[in-house]
Amino acid sequence: MSFKPEQNSDYTLLLGGRNRHGGSTNPDGLPHMRDLPPVNKAHHSMVDCLAQNGNKVIDIILINMRRTLLQTCREVLELPPLHATFMHKIGSTSFVGRFETDTGWVKNLATINRINDVSVSRVDPMKTTFRVTLRIKDFQIGYDEYRIKAMGVSCSGRLVAAFNDNALHMAVTVGLAQWEPYAQLDDLRLQRMESIYAKMAQA
């Protein structure tokens, strides 16, 4: 997933930041500014500015992400139905049951925030990668109708689960492609999902 910043966006302003090293050898061993062609010098200055403002860069991306989720009505997403068979044993008696749901939902995605400082790495002079841990403050999933059937007995109702302790790892790369600035989502995965509060209400 990538986006191209607007001409007057905060991201574009960051790209115009000045190089704090003033052409001397950089701590990361990248080439001297005086040895680079003009376009590369401009990008090198941009990279130095981004490295100094990693938290701000990610915060800007998250602001745009939250705005997009709300404006496109994707703050609540649809989940597919569940169909599962399970086995349980009580004493010497074993039985097989079935659990089913209708279409469900996951919501409050726009409450996503950064919960630690951003780490910055540069393996290529033309691109910089930012890594950060995120949390969805009020992450919930639910199914408006579930059905359980076992040993000839069945029940149905509504299921809602809240995950109060969750963490997502995100990696974003910014750089130049054909001399145009871009931002690209490299990685987004679940690191932790704990402290689950579930409520099952019978119909």
Can you give the pTM of this predicted structure? 0.61
* Fold category of 2-202 in CATH: Bactericidal permeability-increasing protein; domain 1 (3.15.10)
pLDDT tens-digit series, residues 50-63: 656 788 888 988 99
Token digits for 14?
Answer: 């960051």
d(CA 35, CA 170): 34
* Domain ranges, ordered by start, for the chain: 2-202
198 within 8 A of 157, measured Cβ to Cβ: no
Which pLDDT score, from 0 to 100, does residue 27 have?
Answer: 44
Query: How would residue 159 be classed by pLDDT, with cut points 50, 70 and 90?
Result: very high
pLDDT tens-digit series, residues 74-98: 889 999 999 999 998 888 888 899 9
Q: At what angle do helices 54-71 and 38-52 cross, to 10 degrees?
A: 80
Residue type, 36: L
Token digits for 5?
Answer: 């910043």
156 within 8 A of 113, measured Cβ to Cβ: no
- For the chain, what's the residue count? 203
Which pLDDT score, from 0 to 100, does residue 55 have?
Answer: 87
Token digits for 86?
Answer: 């399970």
56 within 8 A of 44, measured Cβ to Cβ: no
Radius of gyration of the chain (CA): 24
Specify the range with the lowest mean pLDDT, choosing from 55-59, 131-135, 157-161, 162-166.
55-59
